[in-house]
Structure 1
Amino acid sequence: MRDRVRDVRAVLRRTVTELWARRREPAVVQTVRSTAAATIAYVVALQLSSEPAPLTAPLTALLVVQVTLYSTLTTGIRRVNSVVVGVIIAIAFSALVGLTWWSLGLIILASLVVGRFVRVHEFVPEVAISAMLVLGVTQVTSGAWDRVLETLIGAVVGLLFNTVLVPPVWVGTAGESIEDLARRMRRLLLGMGEELTTPTPVERAAARLHEARRLDNEVADVDAALRQAEDSLRFNPRVKEGVLHRIVLRTGLDTLEICIVVLRVLARTLTDLAKERRGTDLFPKDVAVALEDLLARVADTLVSFAVLVSTHVSADADAAEDRLAGELRAARAVRDHVAELLLRTVQEDPSQWQLYGAVLADIDRILDELDLEHRGRRLMEELDRHSRERAERRPRLSAFYDRLGV
């Protein structure tokens, strides 16, 4: 009995520890915030609405409160707009016809069409839902305006909740996702390098190729985390340089995505080489050892690049940049040594010269993408593009800022 109690306590303690460790994850934070906002909206609606159970208010608050302040503001405005439009359509129909099968079809059709014109985006079905619910109420006028009132209460509570209690900035989460993607790429490169010093079956090389292709799914997950981080930086009073953070993270992910494409091509080249050299080593012994060292250095460079992208403190960023620059210099030195060895190999046996050259070209592309000068130019181009787009969208505001010297 005591052992069972001890086991139960251990399980509970482990569960609480895991939950506490995950308290800063977006899903956990969103769950707590949505629950609190919906409860507050229901309490407020009980005091202001004549409905005995004003569930529209907590429903609206639940849908309005998003992970970021930016998405909360945009979602709240569109949702209130969709409900009000649906109520107006229902009032107009109720003055002419009652609730029949054909009037229900007409109101759904009209609501969906009007919803497209008022630009409520994903809340187009909400226009029809509001219209149907209001049309089915016995006392249309009072029920309609009660629904509008509850919707406004829920939206206002949701907006105030995220305005007063500003959601966290998810830049750290996006940075961790980018670093995790770079580490996956590192493991793939290290695995490819370890297989160069032994005869590589075609099946094993093809498995590496499939692993490289699966990295595309990882990019999609990181992109979703990055979009969330970008939204969390908009309109957030905690952030002073939101545009710069967004551009740094976005261009960093774009660079890693290009490197993934090159990795896939490199894995394809090694697979073709394994087909050509069945039962023998892919490279001579000295070339294989040097190439393994080169792939290991490129793998470390990818991780250092991701760390630089996700670093926000200036001192840490300088250290990360120095480390990346050193690793790039070391990788290029090894690359030159590999190029000399490959040249001698091709001169002795030119049968697979095109595949040997393709391997070296793919490594050059990765190093060029990670180059600090290349990244600096890319950041400046993105900042200039963002400034031009902002000036085109808000020419008067941009002119005002220019006069102020901002």
Structure 2
Amino acid sequence: MSDALAPLLELVRRHREPAVVQAVRSTAAAVVSYVVALRLSSEPAPLTAPLTALLVVQVTLYSTLTTGVRRVNAVVAGVLIAIGFSALVGLTWWSLGLIILASLVVGRVVRAGEFVPEVAISAMLVLGVTQVADTAWDRVLETLIGAAVGLGFNVLFVPPVWIRPASDAITDLAARIGTLLVHIGSESGNATTVEKAAARLHEARRLDNDISEVDAALRQAEDSLRLNPRVREGVLFGLVLRTGLDTLEICAVVLRVSCRTLTDLAKAHGDEPAFPPPVAAALRDLYGHTAAAVESFAQLITAQVTSNAEEAEGRLIEELETARTSRGRLAGLLPGQIDRHPAEWQLYGALLAEADRVLDELSVEKRSARLLEELDRHAHERRARHPRLARLRARLGRRGKAVVNR
């Protein structure tokens, strides 16, 4: 019995998560639209209404207001195409092809934008539930009911804010970068084969896919912050996460270059360790503290969710200072290594330069400067998009200052 109730209990525990909230909103909108359509439509099973509601209910309020009209146009156009083909030719293999082709063309005509495929999807779904031309107006009415209910749900019941999933994605990305750094540092004192070094290089390259997934989660979070009455300073939250992801992306790129350098060193040394024990220990400390700094940086930029900004910033500063100390010790040991292997001096120098780049990108000063630049850029873009509103704000600001001075 307890095993059967486990999924339900898990859903109750996670009822505040955005994905669960969105699922409940979509379900409720579909059910409400179906109930309304039962009263207003003569169809015994008006499934077009909940279908339209499911397509219209958006993940974020911003996407609802910006894409809702195009989505409704796509659904209505698909319904009308399905009604026309149902009255003329019915459903066959060749009529299905004509329906899809006509839907894609009409979707361009009605300017459905990125929802052009939904014209064909709506037409096929509607054609699947009815082939009776006499119910044409009922289908149009059901579509309008579903669209109205879907838009109403997005306005009255504001979609959830997706900051937490984006923050978790950034934290996971930082953890993967830190894990790779620790593994590279722990293997520096061993006789690393070319195959093993190449495997680490491929692991670093796979971080690009992780960054793409985090970027998609962050774009959804940025949309959920726009025009959302439940969120204050949404622009600032979005810019903090966006600039933080940019920094982690730079660190991932530099880490990939470092893995390439270590692979070249493994090729040059063959079966011998690329670094003697003192150099390997310094490199291990450098990468270990850099990994801790990366994770502390992720905690810092997601502090509006975890509420531990001061602790994360203090740990970040401490780890960066320790990493720079390890970097200095490594720089003092590398000249002796270069004397023994003069042909590899560029590779040893590249390791130091790449470490410097990562430590510089993670610094608190660099983060603050980048955030201020993004805030200024956003303010300039907003003034350029809405010049009259900017002039009105400036005028009200001058009048307010004059009143205060008087």
User: Does residue 328 of structure 1 match 2:323?
Assistant: no
Q: 1:60 to 1:387 in 2, by over 3 A?
A: same
Residue 301 of structure 1 deviates from its aligned partner by 0.5
Aligned residues: CA RMSD = 3.0
2:133 aligns with 138
Match of 1:356 among 348, 361, 372: 348
> Counterpart in 2 of 1:5?
none
> Hey, what does 2:204 align to over in structure 1?
212
Alignment partner, residue 310 of structure 1:
302
Equivalent runs, 1:3-402 vs 2, <5 Å:
9=2, 11-12=3-4, 14-85=6-77, 99-100=88-89, 111-127=103-119, 137-139=132-134, 143-312=135-304, 316-402=308-394
Moved more, 17-26 or 193-202: 17-26
Identity of aligned residues (%): 63
Retained in 2: the 8 A contact 1:339–1:360? yes
Distance in 2, Cα, partners of 1:248 & 1:288? 36
Q: Which moved more, 1:165-174 or 1:383-392?
A: 383-392
Do the aligned partners of 1:41 and 1:57 also contact (CA within 8 Å) in 2? yes
**Residues 62 and 224, structure 2, Cα contact 8 Å, conserved in 1:** yes
Q: What is the rounded CA distance, in whole Å, between the counterparts of 1:197 and 1:104 in structure 2?
A: 65
Distance 1:314 1:292, change over 3 A: closer
Q: Which moved more, 1:119-128 or 1:55-64?
A: 119-128
Deviation at 1:314, TM superposition (A): 10
Structure 1 residue identity aligned to 2:133:
T
Deviations 1:176-222 (A, max 9, x none): 11011111111111110011122222222122112111222211221
**CA distance 1:75–1:149, change in 2 (3 Å):** farther
Contact 2:68 2:151 in 1 (8 A): yes
- CA change 1:104–1:226 in 2 (3 A) is closer
Contact 2:164 2:305 in 1 (8 A): no
| Contact 1:72–1:158 (8 Å) recurs in 2 | no
Residue type matched to 1:138 in 2? A
**CA distance in 2 between partners of 1:201 and 1:107 (Å):** 59
What is the rounded CA distance, in whole Å, between the counterparts of 2:117 and 2:288 in structure 1?
53
Give the TM-score normalised by structure 2.
0.86
* 3-state SS of paired residue (1:197): coil
Structure 1: tracts of 5 or more residues without a match? 1-7
Count of aligned positions: 392
Determine the C-alpha separation between the residues in 1 that align with 2:97 and 2:280. Answer: 71
Q: SS of the residue aligned with 1:359?
A: helix
8 Å contact 2:99–2:120 — kept in the other structure?
A: yes
2: CA distance, partners of 1:33 / 1:116: 30
Distance 2:16 2:196 in 1: 40
Answer with 44-53 or 101-110: which moved more: 101-110
Following the alignment from structure 1 to structure 2, what is the Cα–Cα distance between the partners of residues 144 and 214?
Answer: 52
1:210-267 Cα distance to aligned partner (Å, 9 max, x none): 2111222211221222122112111211111111111111111111111111111111
- Determine the C-alpha separation between the residues in 1 that align with 2:269 and 2:55: 59
Question: Which is further off, 78-87 or 271-280?
Answer: 78-87
Higher alpha-carbon deviation: 76-85 or 99-108? 99-108
TM-score (norm. length: structure 1): 0.86
d(CA) in 2 for partners of 1:117, 1:198: 65
Aligned pair in 2 of structure 1 residues 205, 20: CA closer, same or farther (>3 Å)? farther
